[in-house]
Amino acid sequence: MNRRNRERLMLAGLFGLVPAVFIFAVLLPSRKRMEAKKARMEAIALRLKALPTIQPLSARERRLLADPAAAWRTRIPLLRNDAERFAHYHFVVSDLQGAWKREGVQLLGVRASWDVISGSYSMPRDLGDPDLGLAHKGTAAAGQVQGWVLDAGVAGPADRMFQGMAALARIDPLLEPVGLRWESTPQRTRQSLLLRNLILAP
Amino acid sequence: MSKPLAKTTVTLMVDDQGGELFLESGENLGRLPEPGPGLPLAALWGPLLRERVVPATEVQIIVDRSTMLLQCQDVPFLSPKEQREAAVRIFAAEGGAAELVSSAALDVDALAEGGQVLWLAALPRVEMDGWVAAVQAAGLIPVSAVPFQRALLQGLASLGEAPPDRLLLAVDHHAAAHLCYFRGRSLALQRGFGIPADPAEAEELIYEEVNRLLQFLKQKNRGLVFHAMEIVGLDELSAGFRARVRSALRMDLSFLAPALWPVLMEGVRRERSRKGRLNLLPLEIQEAGNTRVFKHLVWACAAGVGVLFLGASIFLYSQELLLEREVARASRLLADRESRTEAEARIVEARIPLLRVMLAERRQGQAAAALSRVGTAIFRPPQGIQLEKVEVQETPAEPLALAFTITGLAFTERSFSVGPLAQYLAGLAREPGLTLEPVAEATISDRVVEGREAHLDQVAITRFTLKGTAK
């Protein structure tokens, strides 16, 4: 092979073979690998997107969750049986009367219908606080939230009801005011607050 | 044998006595003698050139042979092909039987008829072929062959402005003198002679040659005047010579450059850089040069293509690496997130009761605030309104809303009974978030009070029932 032909061959190699080698040995395999990597990236992104984003616990939440004796644990109690149900009723009525009494609000009587308990009664002016050996039960995660309403009669003018409402936040069983009734006749005035109590049923 | 010099462009100056090699710097690499009869030039010069010059060095030739034919003609613009054809045609008539190589170059000249001067040069082909063969035998590359006079004219252009008619004496290092008359860009006349070593004799000879040339010129051109004779290659002539020239020939002497060689080198450089340059090398040699340049260009392009693909490969590889790092980072992030999922699930599980209590407490507060706000508005009736029954109840809908029903009486006291009712309604309507339904019942009747005397202006009462909602 003479020099000219050798040069032609080399040029053909450089202008033809090198691009071909580049395309088939570098470009296409590289593209294939990059597409595979991109697909992996997309799959990872989708998986990350699917994972729920959970807000981390705040310092207050951490403190409340860490404290086994925190007050929130007894505010919505899990009632497993009748004893716990009656005990809870006892605490609701007793705590309500006690808290209102400290605010100067008199609980005249209660009307309520909660499962087997059907009540319509007047409250004694001074209810004692004997230790019956009953305890507030802690809140459990498992349980269905249920509510029952008690109609709490309030003595005195209408503003006593509002005083009583302000005191509800300080009562351990969680009582949400859901209404009020007020009626005035020439003979007497009757007023009551409707309070909903939340409990957990198994 | 001396070691070949470093590779550079060398100049071969060819005259009637042989050739002489120079570097661009002017360094003389030695004389190449004229071969004897029967001895090929290539056989004599080839080894000498090989000794002195590195192979593949470019060689530019300056021709100062008496066998060279040179003409300048005023012409209109001619294309390169027309220039070449003119050279062939004119020298064919003058060259006789000898085969010539010719070349032409066109210069713009305002003094010329037609605005252009055509330089035409020719040499016997056998001479040119001999030089080219010698140069190629030494492995060198001939790139140009320029007539001495053309190189001189081009070199003079680098020495500044000049009059249109100039008389120039150029003396080389062998004391060979050229007396030239340039008219614009045209070489009108030239004469060569050797200068004796004795200064007095040299000045006498120069004077005689100049005087003879001027007489010849002035016979043909009566009005021709030269104010100075320009001199290149000498730095001084005697004061007597200067005075003699001034008084007898009415000219001054102007020493343009002390050495001829730099002027010639500059001239050759300028000529080679021109488009349509005068080059006496055979066309096939010139084309071979062009082909060589093209080949170099192609090889450079090929190398460029190779470098480009190499660069592209490196770029692609770097992109792959970057992407790989991204994938690895994302994978670690995913693994980290997934490992935290279980812990987060436990947090959620532990948090639900607390959140439930917190939400219930918040709702308790909102409900107490809403009930207090509505109750305060309801239990603040204007004078003349007596409430009988009020019922407020939370509606099951979200967000928290209350529905209320108010039953009462409006008395006629200082105003008629519906007046206080209207006042009460307006007061309730002003409460933010409180919406009253249209009054469904309002009964106005006389009031019968047992045991009291009836007063017409105080007996009318309005019994009403109001309903509405509050948020």
A98: closest CA of chain B, how far (Å): 19
Q: Is the pTM of this model over 0.80?
A: no
The answer for residues whose C-beta is within 8 angstroms of residue B240's C-beta and 6 or more apart is B203
DSSP string spanning B30-61? EEEEPPPTT--HHHHHHHHHHHHS-TT-EEEE
Q: Distances from the Cα of B188 to the Cαs of A82, B249, B255, B355, in angstroms?
A: 139, 20, 21, 113
Query: Residue A79 is which amino acid?
Result: L
A111: closest CA of chain B, how far (Å): 16
User: How far, rounded to the nearest angstrom, does the alpha carbon of residue A20 sit from its chain's CA centroid?
Assistant: 65
CB A78 within 8 A of CB A136: no
Cross-strand partners of B175: none
Residue tagged 């305060």 (tokens): B376
Cross-strand partners of B334: none
Q: Distances from the Cα of B278 to the Cαs of A61, A141, B71, B105, B148, in angstroms?
A: 97, 105, 12, 5, 11
C-alpha span between B330 and B334 (Å, rounded): 6
In this structure, are strands B385-394 and A175-184 parallel, antiparallel, or unpaired? antiparallel
The answer for residues whose C-beta is within 8 angstroms of residue B367's C-beta and 6 or more apart is A176, A177, A178, B394, B400
Using the Cβ of B320 and the Cβ atoms of chain A, whether some distance falls under 8 Å is answered with yes
The answer to whether the Cβ–Cβ distance between B388 and A183 falls below 8 Å is: yes
Q: What residues in A contact B305, CB-CB < 8 Å?
A: 14-15, 18-19
The answer to whether the Cβ–Cβ distance between B387 and A184 falls below 8 Å is: yes
Q: What residues in B contact A51, CB-CB < 8 Å?
A: 337-338, 341
C-alpha span between B316 and B320 (Å, rounded): 6
- pLDDT means per 10 residues, chain B with 471 residues, are 61 92 87 85 90 90 92 93 91 78 93 92 92 92 94 90 88 89 92 90 93 90 88 91 92 92 93 92 83 84 87 93 94 89 76 86 90 90 89 85 91 76 89 87 73 59 89 84
SS3 percent helix, strand, coil of chain A, rounded to 5, is 45, 25, 30
Tell me, what's the pLDDT at B1?
42
In this structure, are strands B228-232 and B252-257 parallel, antiparallel, or unpaired? parallel
Side-by-side strand order, sheet with B165-171 = B186-194, B176-183, B165-171, B228-232, B252-257
Mutation for testing the B interface, residue in A9, A28, A44 having most B CBs under 10 Å: A44
A37: closest CA of chain B, how far (Å): 7
Q: What residues in A contact B319, CB-CB < 8 Å?
A: 30, 34
Tell me, what's the pLDDT at B212?
92
A53: closest CA of chain B, how far (Å): 9
C-alpha span between B378 and B392 (Å, rounded): 10
CATH topology of domain B379-470: Alpha-Beta Plaits (3.30.70)
CA nearest to A200 within chain B: B353
C-alpha span between A110 and A154 (Å, rounded): 9
- Dihedral sign from CA coordinates of B444, B445, B451, B452: positive
- Among residues A142, A85, A80, A77, the alpha carbon closest in space to that of A114 is found at A85
Tell me, what's the pLDDT at B103?
94
ipTM: 0.74
> Is the predicted pLDDT of residue A109 greater than 70, yes or no?
yes
- B383 in helix, strand or coil? coil
CB B5 within 8 A of CB B30: no
Using the Cβ of B300 and the Cβ atoms of chain A, whether some distance falls under 8 Å is answered with no
The answer to whether the Cβ–Cβ distance between A65 and B313 falls below 8 Å is: no
pLDDT digits (tens, 9 = 90+) for B162-193: 788 899 999 988 888 999 999 999 999 999 99
Closest partner CB to A181 (pick from B365, B367, B391): B391
